[in-house]
Amino acid sequence: MTTAHPANIDIEAALAEAQEQYRARNPKSLAQYEAACAALPGGNTRSAIYAEPFPLTMVKGEGAHLWDADGHEYADFLSEFTAGLFGHSHPVIRKAIDAALDGGINFGAHGMAEAKFAAAICDRFPSVELVRFTNSGTEANLMAVSAAIGITKKKKILVFHGGYHGGVFYFRGKGSPINAPFDYLIGTYNDIEGTRALVAPHRHDLAAILVEPMLGGSGCIPAEPTFLAELRALSRDCGAILIFDEVMTSRLAPGGLQQHWAIYPDMTTLGKYVGGGMSFGAFGGRADLMEWFDPRNKNGFQHAGTFNNIVLTMNAGLAGLTEIYTPEAARRLNEWGEKLRERLNAAVRKKGLAMQFTGLGSMIGVHMRGGTIANAADAAQGHAGLLELFYFDLTARGIWFAKRGMMSLSIALDDNDADQLVGAVEDFAETRAPLFEVMQ
């Protein structure tokens, strides 16, 4: 692909026009962004939500809908990068939060809700026999990986290109100089031969394998179940701890993808929606591993955290998991997601576009390329300009999702919202089809 190709020149022109319209449509978001730059570096405190030329500012959320500063309404197909599974201000979550506000939000002591919430998590996720809470998925992974090193007394951590496990565990693109300073081996996702070869010289020093059962941030690329099964075997061969990062994927089946594939890790990390939409993370797993965190064990590990058992999150998480996102609700949402993805793929197939929607159940990745996408390098071959154009076109049609091409579904979305999304994709496919010639 060279920029000299006529279609690429057309894409650039279409993008310039779309950006101009975006600027014209969103003056208040632009003004808000410029004001934010005075006190936040680049006006931003969360890298993933920044978007060129400037991000939209949302001012209100209700159910499955969002409104921006300029008054445009959106069907929320991002659902807070999976954390907003319940939609905005679900009445049951609101009640749970109100109960915390009425009775005190953080006691500096054991409370009543945390044990119930922990029991609900252990009931739900098969490999989790005992669990501890943190404030974010990042922190959950920091704790799980640190524990693996402490327990095994080994150093190497196997992760995968395209993996994302939090702000200090960024393995997309060129990675990040501010990653937590563990001793990483970085394998290729879905490539077990390559992974075995990478690990072979270090097999006696492998402390943990940290893997998302589906790459989330890198484009909703599911792991082959055989790949996960082989990682399970490899970790046993090496005496390493297998950690499934199910911060995103735990929503994809009642007991997460581990249950869906019947492949059980030693430890699991959770976050996002499991906390009912509040700040949340958790790490859990085999009792013999988690018992290192038993404070009665004088040789065990310390794990403090001011907000680990904040009543607000404990109440909201317990209500979310037991009263709203029941196993039945999880099945329903993910079946609905499968059907929606099929409709989206049918819309672009009909036009013969080199474009596809990947993922499983309620998580959807958008890629501007055809063919198999098994890892981050495959995903990176998608056409970046077309993806950007897709973002401008869909946001102009009232669809909210992540510019990098990620959608996730909430239980608040309904068939009208799905029709709106499919209609917007059909419009895009119709109007932009000529630009796809470059991909054929």
In the chain, the amino acid numbered 318 is L
Q: Binding of ligand PLP at residue 165 (CB under 6 A)? A: yes
Nearer to ligand PLP, 147 or 435 (CB): 147
Binders in 273-302 for ligand PLP, by CB under 6 A? 281
Are 118 and 290 in contact, with CB atoms under 8 Å apart? no
CA angle 168, 170, 176 (to 5 degrees): 80
Are 58 and 67 in contact, with CB atoms under 8 Å apart? yes
Residue whose C-beta lies closest to ligand PLP? 137
Interaction mask 228-267, ligand PLP, x per CB under 6 A? -----------------x-xx-------------------
Nearer to ligand PLP, 87 or 216 (CB): 216
Minimum Å gap between C-beta 15 and ligand PLP is: 27
Nearer to ligand PLP, 175 or 370 (CB): 175
Minimum Å gap between C-beta 60 and ligand PLP is: 23
Q: Is the peptide bond before 53 cis (omega within 30 degrees of 0)?
A: yes
Which DSSP helix (H) or strand (E) runs through 174? Answer: none
Q: Binding of ligand PLP at residue 33 (CB under 6 A)? A: no
Measured N-to-C along each axis, helices 91-103 and 311-319 cross at an angle, to the nearest 10 degrees, of: 150
> CA 157, CA 224: separation in Å to the nearest integer?
21
Minimum Å gap between C-beta 141 and ligand PLP is: 6
Q: Binding of ligand PLP at residue 375 (CB under 6 A)? A: no
Q: How many CA atoms lie within 13 A of 291 on its CB side?
A: 4
Are 405 and 387 in contact, with CB atoms under 8 Å apart? yes
Minimum Å gap between C-beta 272 and ligand PLP is: 6
Binding residue (CB under 6 A) for ligand PLP from 8, 29, 127, 136:
136
> CA 127, CA 290: separation in Å to the nearest integer?
12
Helices (H), 174-286: 192-199, 225-238, 256-261
Nearer to ligand PLP, 139 or 393 (CB): 139
Nearer to ligand PLP, 14 or 142 (CB): 142
Nearer to ligand PLP, 213 or 385 (CB): 213
Q: Binding of ligand PLP at residue 365 (CB under 6 A)? A: no
Nearer to ligand PLP, 19 or 44 (CB): 44
426: its two tokens: 């059909």
Nearer to ligand PLP, 279 or 345 (CB): 279
The window from 60-68, 131-139, 300-308, 353-361 that contacts ligand PLP (CB under 6 A) reads 131-139
Binding residue (CB under 6 A) for ligand PLP from 55, 137, 222, 277:
137
> CA 388, CA 243: separation in Å to the nearest integer?
34
Q: Binding of ligand PLP at residue 271 (CB under 6 A)? A: yes
> CA 256, CA 263: separation in Å to the nearest integer?
10
Q: Binding of ligand PLP at residue 407 (CB under 6 A)? A: no
> CA 58, CA 79: separation in Å to the nearest integer?
13
Using the structure block, give the residue that is written with the tokens 């009912």: 276
Report how far apart, in Å, the C-alpha atoms of 343 and of each of 16, 156, 241, 252, 428 are. 30, 43, 39, 19, 14
| Cβ atoms within 10 Å, residue 46 | 10
Query: Which strands, in side-by-side order, build the sheet including 363-367?
Result: 356-360, 363-367, 406-408
Binders in 47-86 for ligand PLP, by CB under 6 A? 81
Binders in 139-158 for ligand PLP, by CB under 6 A? 141
The window from 84-92, 135-143, 358-366, 369-377 that contacts ligand PLP (CB under 6 A) reads 135-143
Interaction mask 188-217, ligand PLP, x per CB under 6 A? ------------------------x---xx
* Interface with ligand PLP (CB under 6 A): 81, 136-138, 141, 164-166, 212, 216-217, 245, 247-248, 271, 281
